[in-house]
Structure 1
Amino acid sequence: MYYIKPVISIGKVDIKSFEQFPIGKEVLIITSKTVSQNYGLPDIFDELRKKSSVHIFNHIRPDAPFEDLDLVLDELKQVSIDTIIAIGGGSTIDAAKALSIAFGDVSYKDVFYGKTPVPTTKIPLIAIPTTAGTGAELSFGAIIYDKDKGKKGGIRGEIIQPNYVFIDANLHNGCPIHLKAEVGFDCLTHAIETYISKKSNPIVRNQSVNCIQVIFQHLTKSCKENSIEDMEKVAIASSLMGINLAFSSTCLPHRIQYVIGPMTGTSHAQGLIAIYKGWLQYLYNEKIDELNQLASDLNMSTEEFLNRVNNLKKELNLDYGILKLGIDLKDIDEIASSVSGNVQADPSYENVESIINILKLAI
């Protein structure tokens, strides 16, 4: 099974773009200070204010901490929000997805901890990504962070998928080159992991192969040449990986990053880049069939595929391991024992020793 339900528009975002979708009387906009001041968005917001009350919040930090979500809920507790618009990277969109179920009687925290099921209704959500990597605009998950308990995890369910998605490569091209490269590698990890995952299926694997080919061909150009044509291809591939995430799953690198990120104060993409140094080598050492099949589908040998990934990291100045994140050998056992979630989806996982070995290879 594989389907795309949200309406997806590709092209320049302007006020006419919004006119094709229902916008309510009370509109919540989640964005960042930098994004909200550029790309003609102030003019769009002014136009929206002619018909709606617009509430703009630009304080969401990486990983969408609980306290950032609570600030929005506390300030708008007397307001009946009709529409949510998220303009930003993965954390911004994930925050909006969590908030889309949080204004009713359901506690997003209870959903996060599995105390109550994901509700069957939400506030309509428009997602406009500004980074091409997370696929948050089309996935069924919202990754958020309980700082008090040191728990990073997800609210998952089809209901929180955005209703409408705008892909404007001009927004993606506006982010710094190094950030563009890092999140682009995140997109590559989604393609590789959803292919290799035990939860994969033929359509997911086909989409993964196409995405990997796009990243190999267009990511470096989109970063170093600021090519809008190449950036649009990467942005579309990133969004489609959000669908892959909905119908497959990530593997051990994501599970490990959820521990390492809060521990080191590093970004999601930075953690994945470092962990991949060890994970791909571990898959190769363990002769994992899924890795070999992925390389074959790309018309490469396994060695050629691994070299192509490593060369991409070098081209984009992303060639580092977990030492750069501040992880030491003495931390490895603690990290490995803290990894949770669906680790069995990774065909290389046998027990905690698998994670320890991956981390040692990622040094």
Structure 2
Amino acid sequence: MTDTNPMFGALRLPRSILFGRGQRRAIGSATAKIGKRALLCTDPRQSAQPEFRDILADLAANGVETHVFDQTIPDLPIGSIEACVAEVSGFAPDVVIGVGGGSSMDMAKVVAVLLTHGGDVRSYYGEFAVPGPVIPLIAVPTTSGTGSEVTPVAVVADEQRGAKVGIASPHLIPLIAICDPELTVTCPPGLTACSGADALTHAVEAFTTLARPIDAMLTEQHVFVGKNVLSDHFAKLAVANVFQYLERGYRDGADVEAREGLMLAALAAGCAFGTAGTAAAHALQYPVGNLTHTAHGDGVATLLPYVMQYNRPSCVDAFVELARTIGLPEGSPDDMSQAFIDAAATLLAAVKIPASLAALGLPADQQDFVAENALNAARLVKNNPRPLDLAAMQSITRAAFSGDRAALRTI
């Protein structure tokens, strides 16, 4: 019998991933095995936390000298990266630790590149532009959303371009990820919602990305290789956990079980999209985020139900599988795939994610600008399971602006 559906799987992950309550107490010992001079990249809110001071004390107790850069700015403007590099140029770290949300971990990644290879941040845009290994990275997330602790990408805000741009290279994957849900207990409800919605978007887009023709050179030629059997495993875990725990964590930040479930979701979603990639929701968010100055997680999550609705004709089976993953009632494939989209929209509304681009603050006259500029994110556009052209992008953007998801059912 001929096998007409061969399996393909690919993952690129840290050498070590530690997950669970109290795992931050391994940072000092783990760092000392790598180097003796650690740069910590974080933000002012995080550096003031008692847990951060405990991390510094743990590093010192293990003989690690530290330098703290705590001026990381959300969305990571290039000027902030350059300020960090200039500040630590005389310190010569042999390990870089990112402690915080996605921007702090991405700061650690890009600074490690510049300290190792020099040059301008802009010279590393795109895929595979980092020429070789970088100073070892340790990532310690304090939110449950971006998954940056396990991914090969960092996103920076290029002020000159007026755009967010990705640097994608396997060399950016941290050597060690230490994921301690106790570090997320202080996240306020809005940040919990935004982060968890980001994780959901990562997982759904990774699970529904276009599956590429199987080729032994796929991972050699692309950082993000599309839907595959290994990334699918992590994407489903993430979706299940977000649906089980997001609203709980949003309503009660002290619910440590919910914090655990959400951090595992974010980690699993990172494992999924770090290899499979993301698609149209992320492509559209780049210009939306630049125009509205809103959080990445809010932007992609606002767009997600509309992108899912547009993609549904190409994703019926995938959405049915996700519907079963979260325990929706059995029915026809059409009904179940639509039910999953509706359930995602309902969950996002329950945690106060804006329901439309208008509610997010996008000016009405910028809808076509968003559609046109989203097409510039070629690595995301090519990943989308249903082909995208300007007319398709405009249909998604206009439906998302007006809040009319039904308008996409007939396209």
- TM-score of the two chains, using structure 2 as the length reference: 0.82
Kindly tell me: are residues 44 and 351 of structure 1, through their superposed partners in 2, closer, same or farther at Cα, counting changes over 3 Å?
A: closer
Residue 361 of structure 2 is aligned to residue 333 of structure 1: no
Paired AA for residue 38 in structure 1: Q
* Per-residue CA distance 1:288-320 (angstroms, 9 max, x = gap): 2x2442223532401221221122122212242
Q: Is the 8 A contact 1:106 1:119 kept in 2?
A: no
Residue of 235, 243, 256 corresponding to 1:216? 243
CA pair 131-280 structure 1, distance change in 2 beyond 3 A: same
Q: Does 1:99 align with 2:81?
A: no
**How has the CA–CA distance of structure 1 residues 169 and 39 changed in structure 2, closer, same or farther, with 3 Å as cutoff?**
farther
CA distance in 2, matches of 1:338, 1:14: 40
CA distance in 2, matches of 1:241, 1:43: 28
Aligned to 1:346: 384
**Which amino acid is the alignment partner of residue 40 of structure 1?**
E
Report the equivalent of 2:275: 247
- Distance change >3 Å, CA 140–CA 278, structure 1 → 2: same
Instruction: Indicate the larger mover: 157-166 or 216-225.
Output: 216-225
Q: Deviations over 1:88-129 (max 9, x none)?
A: 001110111111111133325243346993121211111110
The 1:281–1:55 alpha-carbon spacing in structure 2 relative to 1, beyond 3 Å, is same
The 5 A counterparts of 1:103-142 are 103-113=115-125, 117-142=129-154
In structure 2, give the amino acid aligned to 1:310: A
State the alpha-carbon separation in 2 of the partners of residues 5 and 17 from structure 1.
Answer: 15
After superposition, the CA RMSD in angstroms is: 2.0
More displaced, 59-68 or 72-81? 72-81
How far is 1:148 from its partner? 1.9
How far apart are the structure 2 equivalents of 1:116 and 1:241? 22
In structure 1, the residue matched to 2:262 is 234
- Matched to 2:318, the amino acid is Q
Deviations 1:238-260 (A, max 9, x none): 11221212211101110111111
Distance 1:114 1:252 in 2: 17
1:121-270 equivalent positions in 2, closer than 5 A: 121-198=133-210, 199-226=226-253, 227-270=255-298
Query: Could you say if the C-alpha distance between residues 16 and 255 of structure 1 is closer, same or farther in structure 2, counting changes exceeding 3 Å?
Result: closer
**1:296–1:258: structure 2 CA closer, same or farther, 3 Å change rule?**
same
What SS is found at the alignment partner of 1:242?
A: helix
Q: 1:116 to 1:241 in 2, by over 3 A?
A: closer
Corresponding residue pairs, total:
360
Corresponding residue number in structure 2 for 1:77? 89
Distance change >3 Å, CA 313–CA 150, structure 1 → 2: same
Question: Cα offset for 1:277?
Answer: 4.0
Distance 2:239 2:292 in 1: 28
Amino acid at match of 1:352: L
Q: Specify the alignment match of 2:337 in structure 1.
A: 302
Report if aligned partners of 1:184, 1:234 keep a CA contact under 8 Å in 2.
yes
Q: Give the Cα–Cα distance (whole angstroms) in 2 for the partners of residues 122 and 322 of structure 1.
A: 39
Q: Which runs of 5+ in 1 are unaligned?
A: none
AA aligned opposite 1:84:
V
- CA displacement, residues 57-83 of structure 1 (integer Å, 9 cap, x when unaligned): 111111111000000111222231111
Identify the range of structure 1 (91-100 vs 309-318) with the bigger mean alpha-carbon deviation: 309-318
Whether contact under 8 Å (2:209, 2:227) holds in the other structure is yes
The amino acid across from 1:209 in the alignment is K
Given residue 252 of structure 2, which amino acid in structure 1 is its aligned partner?
Answer: E
Structure 1 residues 8-47: aligned runs within 5 Å: 8-10=17-19, 11-21=21-31, 22-47=33-58
Change in 2 beyond 3 A, CA 1:115/1:251: closer
CA offset at residue 49 of structure 1?
4.0
Which amino acid in structure 1 is aligned with residue 362 of structure 2? I
